[in-house]
């Protein structure tokens, strides 16, 4: 016996297409924070600080997985860069990040357009869970970091530019001691 397929009306086709696209977007959004082999028990973006590498890079535990996290939008002076590069105010920036995020601190990581940098580090805006302090912008505002905007990760670039400009104008941190960013030591 032949099977007859009843043609769908345009509104039915559109409704079906919208449902499919909605389900696809939901699935992609739900998986944006998910990582292979990681338990789903932690809230999206929730992590615990395990180490401060330098002023703009930390290590975290995300549901049992160790990850390096590069703070988006800022650049702190190097403490151990390529070829042993050390820059003015690098030690102070690392110490400030460690004071803001002591080992064991709970943080919320918020991603932008790109999830990782070319070194495999997670790219994130970091918020201290205890008081929702936006660590990236705090480091810029206090003079421990310059602005580093790398499109397409630009969600908070205006806040970073404003915070760093004020720190520079008030000669805070590296702006007062070093005369600006990227100043080699000795």
Instruction: Determine which one of 67, 78, 87, 92 is catalytic.
Output: 78
d(CA 146, CA 168): 9
Beta bridge partners of 87: 184
Instruction: Determine which one of 87, 96, 111, 121 is catalytic.
Output: 121
Largest CA distance in the chain: 89
| 67 among known catalytic residues | no
Listed in order, strand segments (DSSP E) in the chain are: 46-54, 57-62, 65-71, 73-75, 106-110, 122-128, 133-134, 146-148
Strands 65-71 and 122-128: parallel
d(CA 160, CA 167): 11
Strands 65-71 and 57-62: antiparallel
| 78 among known catalytic residues | yes
| 92 among known catalytic residues | no
Give the residue numbers annotated as catalytic, written as ranges. Answer: 70, 78, 121
């Amino acid at each position: 016996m032949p099977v007859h397929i009843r043609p769908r009306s345009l509104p039915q086709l559109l409704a079906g297409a919208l449902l499919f696209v909605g389900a696809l977007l939901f699935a992609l959004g739900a998986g944006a924070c998910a990582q292979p082999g990681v338990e789903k028990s932690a809230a999206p973006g929730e992590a615990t600080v395990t180490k401060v590498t330098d002023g703009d890079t930390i290590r975290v535990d995300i549901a049992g997985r160790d990850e390096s996290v590069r703070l988006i939008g800022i650049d702190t002076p190097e403490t151990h860069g390529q070829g042993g590069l050390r820059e003015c105010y690098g030690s102070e920036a690392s110490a400030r990040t460690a004071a803001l995020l002591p080992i064991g601190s709970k943080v919320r990581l918020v991603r932008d357009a790109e999830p990782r940098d070319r070194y495999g580090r997670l790219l994130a805006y970091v918020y201290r869970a205890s008081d929702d302090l936006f660590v990236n912008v705090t480091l810029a505002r206090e003079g421990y970091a310059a602005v580093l905007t790398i499109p397409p990760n630009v969600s908070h670039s205006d806040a970073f530019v404003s915070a760093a400009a004020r720190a520079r104008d008030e000669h805070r941190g590296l702006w007062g001691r070093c005369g600006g960013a990227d100043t080699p030591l000795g």
